[in-house]
């Protein structure tokens, strides 16, 4: 057998490709669902926290800062293991996909809060004053004047962060969430062949390359023009 | 309440596993000292390729960066660690982890350096070249110092991510902090060791997180 044939046999065995693509596809669906849920809840929570922080209620702001700092410093895998293996012994059993969704949402919320908050604080004071003097309330100023600008300003940094965090759905394999990597390693342990792993890697790349490319585009499209 | 304290904040268990976790922290530090310089160097190479005048180099860099930014690091790690042996290549956990991290972090650092290099005005290049500096000297003495200064918050922020990312090495039984804590958890049937590991990660990284927040605000103010 030539080296090339051996390579194909090891990483792209046709019989395995045919046998396992439905499993990998199932994994793709799980990955997409969890990633979408994480993006939705994480960004929403981050925006809510940043808006709440704008009211400058001291004890609440302290809590938000602590939350943000903790989830920026804590590796997500640590939080995942802690919640998944720890909570059942105090009587709370969460399904593994819920644990994954919860942890990644909190991590994304922490980063999103920081980014939106930076946008809120960078809005010139004059805009607040102008809006308030036209009779808008504080909340109306926040939602109609400040947040639209803060969100736009936050798009480029948020895009990359969001992509990086949604890729962490692969961590779910450690607690048995049936995402792509989990399907691939399971299949690989049955077959004793690296083809399913390769399929998993390709599925991830196929899924995320368009997202990364889109991120690149958004970054240039939304970049704040420097004077 | 009692159960929660017993399960998550058991001081007696924390005390018992402390030496094990300390050794894990040492291994994490060792891993960081291996993968961060590697990533910084690889990233620089990628960035220089992507601002070069040769189209092939530019495209090669873009493809590599996007490819390794699209593949989750854990997927890369498992592919290298569990996949390559089927081709007769057995990597030790250390080599597999270093290689996976090198491919992943070089791409991220590379993008950051590139943004930094882009932020240095064209005029700087031209001025430096017209004073008689060579291309290499221009990059080393004129462009890079300013580029690095401009993207310092991003470089530190990414380094925090790399340190956090070392926790995935536990999946291939590399005995770093999380692996040690998880070992201790399965031996004691108690989550306190993992809580202790979480506290250690937070204590180590919190000053850096604060620093990045302040630097980012300063850059935003400009």
Sequence spans of domains, chain B: 2-221
Q: Is the pLDDT of residue A87 over 80?
A: yes
- Counting runs of H as helices and runs of E as strands, what totals does chain B give? 11, 0
| Percent of chain A topping pLDDT 70 | 98
**Closest by Cβ to B201, choosing from A75, A164, A192:** A75
Phi-psi domain of A56 (left: phi exceeds 0; alpha: psi -120 through 50; beta: other)? left
Q: How confident is the model at residue A81 (pLDDT cuts 50, 70, 90)?
A: very high
Give, in order, the Cα–Cα distances in Å from B90 to each of A35, B68, B80, B118.
33, 22, 9, 40
Rounded CA separation A107/A222 (Å):
24
**Closest by Cβ to B72, choosing from A78, A81, A167:** A167
In chain A, the N- to C-terminal Cα span, in Å, equals 63
ipTM: 0.90
Q: Say which residue, A4 or B171, is predicted with more confidence.
A: B171
The tokens of B4 are what? 């929660």
pTM here? 0.91
pLDDT in tens, A95-141: 999 999 999 999 999 999 999 999 999 889 999 999 999 999 999 99
Question: Chain A within 8 Å of B69 (Cβ-Cβ)?
Answer: yes
Helix (H/G/I), strand (E/B), else coil: B52: coil
The set of residues, in sequence order, having a beta carbon less than 8 Å from that of B121 and lying 6+ positions away, is none
- By residue count, chain B amounts to 222
User: Are B210 and A72 a contacting pair at CB < 8 A?
Assistant: no
Q: How confident is the model at residue A155 (pLDDT cuts 50, 70, 90)?
A: confident
Question: Chain A within 8 Å of B1 (Cβ-Cβ)?
Answer: no
Per-residue pLDDT, A225: 54
Low-confidence ranges of chain B (pLDDT < 70): 218-222
Class of domain A21-221: mainly alpha
**Which CATH number among 3.90.1150.10, 3.40.50.2000, 2.130.10.10, 1.10.3720.10 corresponds to the domain B2-221?**
1.10.3720.10
Question: Chain B within 8 Å of A122 (Cβ-Cβ)?
Answer: yes
pLDDT in tens, A16-72: 898 889 999 999 999 999 999 999 999 999 999 999 999 999 999 999 999 999 999
pLDDT in tens, B95-107: 999 999 999 999 9
User: Are A201 and B7 a contacting pair at CB < 8 A?
Assistant: no
Question: Chain B within 8 Å of A15 (Cβ-Cβ)?
Answer: no
């Amino acid at each position: 057998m030539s080296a090339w044939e051996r390579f194909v046999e090891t990483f792209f065995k046709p019989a395995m490709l045919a046998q396992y693509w439905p499993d990998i596809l199932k994994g793709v669906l799980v990955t997409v669902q969890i990633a979408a849920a994480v993006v939705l809840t994480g960004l929403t929570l981050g925006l809510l926290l940043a808006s709440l922080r704008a009211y400058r209620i001291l004890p609440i702001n302290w809590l938000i800062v602590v939350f943000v700092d903790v989830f920026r410093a804590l590796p997500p895998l640590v939080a995942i293991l802690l919640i998944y293996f720890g909570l059942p012994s105090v009587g709370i059993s969460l399904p593994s996909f819920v644990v994954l969704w919860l942890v990644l949402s909190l991590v994304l919320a922490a980063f999103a809060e920081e980014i939106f908050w930076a946008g809120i604080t960078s809005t010139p004071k004059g805009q607040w004053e102008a809006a308030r003097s036209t009779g808008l309330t504080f909340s109306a100023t926040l939602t109609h004047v400040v947040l639209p600008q803060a969100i736009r300003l936050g798009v480029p940094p948020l895009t990359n962060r969001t992509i990086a965090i949604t890729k962490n759905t692969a961590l779910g394999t450690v607690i048995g969430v049936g995402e792509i990597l989990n399907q691939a390693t399971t299949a690989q342990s049955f077959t004793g062949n690296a083809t399913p792993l390769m399929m998993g890697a390709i599925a991830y790349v196929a899924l995320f390359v368009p997202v990364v490319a889109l991120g690149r585009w958004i970054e240039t499209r939304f970049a704040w023009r420097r004077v | 309440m009692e159960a929660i304290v017993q399960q998550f904040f058991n001081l007696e268990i924390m005390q018992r596993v402390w030496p094990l976790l300390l050794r894990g922290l040492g291994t994490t530090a060792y891993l960081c000292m291996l993968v961060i310089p590697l990533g910084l160097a690889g990233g620089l190479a990628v960035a220089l390729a992507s601002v070069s005048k040769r189209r092939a180099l530019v495209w090669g860099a873009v493809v590599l960066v996007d490819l390794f930014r699209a593949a989750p690091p854990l997927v890369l790690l498992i592919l290298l660690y569990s996949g390559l042996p089927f081709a007769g290549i057995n990597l030790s956990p250390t080599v597999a982890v270093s290689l996976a991290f090198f491919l992943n972090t070089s791409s991220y650092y590379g993008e950051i350096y590139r943004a930094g290099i882009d932020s240095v005005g064209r005029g700087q290049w031209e001025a430096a070249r017209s004073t008689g500096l060579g291309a290499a000297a221009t990059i080393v003495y004129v462009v890079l110092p300013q580029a690095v200064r401009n993207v310092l918050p991003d470089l530190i922020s990414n380094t925090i991510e790399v340190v956090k990312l070392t926790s995935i090495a536990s999946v291939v039984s590399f005995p770093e902090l999380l692996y040690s804590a998880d070992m201790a958890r399965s031996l004691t049937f108690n989550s306190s060791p993992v809580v202790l590991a979480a506290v250690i990660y937070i204590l180590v990284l919190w000053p850096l997180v604060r620093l990045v927040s302040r630097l980012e605000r300063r850059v935003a103010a400009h």
